[in-house]
Structure 1
């Protein structure tokens, strides 16, 4: 086997493993914010207030991500992708295990939600540096004509991490409601810490990317701050941030907000939605690499525009199926929506990578993605909860909100394509 081919495969698999563990930890928090954290850490509040407070801590982690993207992106462009990725996984493991060990509000009072917010911010800092590095580690090791496909392996960590998180909560739920709220909800967080240690050991064996080493040898990586190199490219960064919206916020709408909405407003058991999400994420794991392969061979731009346009239509059958209480229909519509989302998500990472030079690439894509996550994705469950509480039985405004997220991505992709021509 060709040495470069072997390294490219190892890099793609390593990026997949790393982002799987990172997204597992992050999704565990997202699911817990819907199922349990409001009751454990904000137990003195009303149900709505506890939900909003819990989703607020979810958003707090997103607010830390743009600054982390700047810091870790800069370090990744100056020091190398490998070093930064080792740091981020250690931070995530510490934060996630810390949440699993954190005493409840009834035990230590106000100190519990304060500590929860701080650990959540640390999670956000970790993910702020992780995503860009994982994408670049896979993409920059790949041969020409396979870079978008390789980058999708880092994106594949999202459904794999989600499956692991759903499995962990299904296990925790199996102990019964009383045990779940007493201690079993902590198990997924503690497992995340153990998995992070495994990932740390794996990442120590990674090699630096050829693209970065070439930039370093040319003197492009170490001597000029990457932010300075982005002068004249900030509009492109803005477009890239808009382009990734539906690929990030859409999942938090479907995987986080929808779970709470279905149980509180449609009165479906949480296991029904968890099972539907589990089925949908299995299909996502299978179809996402295929989407990236097809996009690379047929053209990334038309593929992205087509999948984002389909995303505009997806929420309407989902909400209709929820009202029907038909379990098969619910699973089918949620699966269709998530597979469509994942097709866009698989391709967008590689697409925005090509928009920036190697020496400022980590910084640029991290700022774009993490700023988008902070301003839109992190607040998606919160906004959805406020819309649902205001309109009660009317789901159309929620579907319209989701369609708007998809439209923003279309405008971002078009703008990024036009800016690349100038």
Structure 2
């Protein structure tokens, strides 16, 4: 049976607290990571859903539907392009002053951005100011999620008991399907409204509901202590002065490989949950409520797949597990499109679930895999930079590229399937290379010892 190395056990023993309180912290940290990222992803997903369904009509009217869709997806992509900036800023703060303080700030920024969108005037009442304000608040969302992810992963993984880093880190990743479930519930509730009421004020309700979630998230995070690994580093006065500069100088190759390894987990999620929503309703002409219901069922499948993946990968080895998931992801879009094209609800769920299970397996385990690739002193900055640049490129552009391919090849799904396979292939190559580098580094340490 495989057990992952636990290189930082000594630093995790440093907490300055009674033993009973230390015992409860790993569970609290994992729960806080899950709840916090659920709230952040809820905010991000309701924007994604709205950009696929209604933002083109509300903020970019009077143009061809195809170009209105592109404009709407363009504002969606803006949030992704802001994510690396958030990763850099909060990665620096997390490596300098602490993971916990950075996470409280990101949650507050996300809440303000999301609730603000709920109060926005539309183009009909504010003209060009409406899309401008939409973009600005979308940037705030991007900055917040860019800083959130790395800190949530590290709070869970650096609090983890010995030998369970991958499993505990996966709880931060569970926020994505959980946030998706909440966002779909919210939009499913308002999508059944009268069309005029939905376009007038109903779409705002999911955004305004974020205010309540924000309060819940802040209260839960208040009960979690700072990461013991960071606390030990700070006590030893070994905190990096300029962590981002140190990463770019010493570990830029690893950053690029981690970026590539994340591609299918990041791009695949937005391909399935955002582009497919638009593709099925506009290209295939399927009912909006039907697709939302199908994605809702698939989101539960994703949630349980990710939970099981973190546990299973911990036992057989993360590298081996990730390569298998990426390889299967390369094959998954072909049955997905064939089944979705039938228009039958069960076939749609099965087809999308096949792709999502492969994609989300990689996504669940990648956090723990990356967290062991960098030293503690620069880890927040390094994993944030890797993941958020990937999100900007692969996540932000994927719905746009999908929309262009669907427009360029009307009635043909194979170009979309090939595009998805290409994304998974990038991850497979980078995961394999990272695993070889890790083995080489471990072998070098063993020989030196």
TMscore range, shorter length: over 0.9
- Give the alignment partner of residue 119 of structure 1, picking from 134, 137, 140: 137
> How big is the alpha-carbon RMSD for the aligned residues of Structure 1 and Structure 2?
1.1
Mapped to 2, the partners of 1:320 and 1:9 lie a distance apart of 42
Secondary structure of 1:324's match?
coil
Per-residue CA deviations over 1:25-50 (Å, capped at 9, x if unaligned) read 00000000001111001112210111
Mapped to 2, the partners of 1:296 and 1:391 lie a distance apart of 42
Aligned to 1:133: 151
Aligned to 1:394: 412
Secondary structure of 2:374's match?
coil
Counterpart contact for 1:276–1:335, Cα < 8 Å: no
Counterpart contact for 1:65–1:370, Cα < 8 Å: yes
Per-residue CA deviations over 1:284-333 (Å, capped at 9, x if unaligned) read 11221111101001111110000111111111111111221222111111
Mapped to 2, the partners of 1:52 and 1:287 lie a distance apart of 32
Q: Which moved more, 1:70-79 or 1:314-323?
A: 314-323
Counterpart contact for 1:15–1:154, Cα < 8 Å: yes
What is the TM-score of this pair, normalised by structure 1? 0.98
Runs of 4+ residues over 2 Å off in structure 1: 1-5, 418-422
Question: Is 1:203 equivalent to 2:221 in the alignment?
Answer: yes
Secondary structure of 1:224's match?
coil
Aligned to 2:444: none
Mapped to 2, the partners of 1:375 and 1:329 lie a distance apart of 31
Mapped to 2, the partners of 1:303 and 1:177 lie a distance apart of 46
Mapped to 2, the partners of 1:287 and 1:393 lie a distance apart of 32
Mapped to 2, the partners of 1:226 and 1:335 lie a distance apart of 39
Aligned to 1:298: 316
Q: Which moved more, 1:334-343 or 1:378-387?
A: 334-343
Mapped to 2, the partners of 1:118 and 1:45 lie a distance apart of 22
Aligned to 2:166: 148
Aligned to 1:47: 65
Counterpart contact for 1:93–1:194, Cα < 8 Å: no
Aligned to 1:405: 423
Secondary structure of 1:267's match?
coil
Per-residue CA deviations over 1:131-185 (Å, capped at 9, x if unaligned) read 0000001000001211110000000000000000000000011213222111101
Secondary structure of 1:39's match?
helix
Aligned length: 421
Structure 1: stretches of 5+ with no match in the other structure: none
Q: Which moved more, 1:286-295 or 1:8-17?
A: 286-295
Aligned to 2:269: 251
What is the TM-score of this pair, normalised by structure 2? 0.92
Counterpart contact for 2:28–2:223, Cα < 8 Å: no
Aligned to 2:92: 74
Per-residue CA deviations over 1:330-385 (Å, capped at 9, x if unaligned) read 11111222122111111011000000000000000000000000111111101100
Counterpart contact for 2:340–2:352, Cα < 8 Å: no
Question: Is 1:162 equivalent to 2:180 in the alignment?
Answer: yes
1:194-343 alignment runs, 5 A limit: 194-221=212-239, 224-230=241-247, 231-343=249-361
Per-residue CA deviations over 1:63-85 (Å, capped at 9, x if unaligned) read 11112111110110000000000
Aligned to 1:108: 126
Secondary structure of 2:341's match?
helix
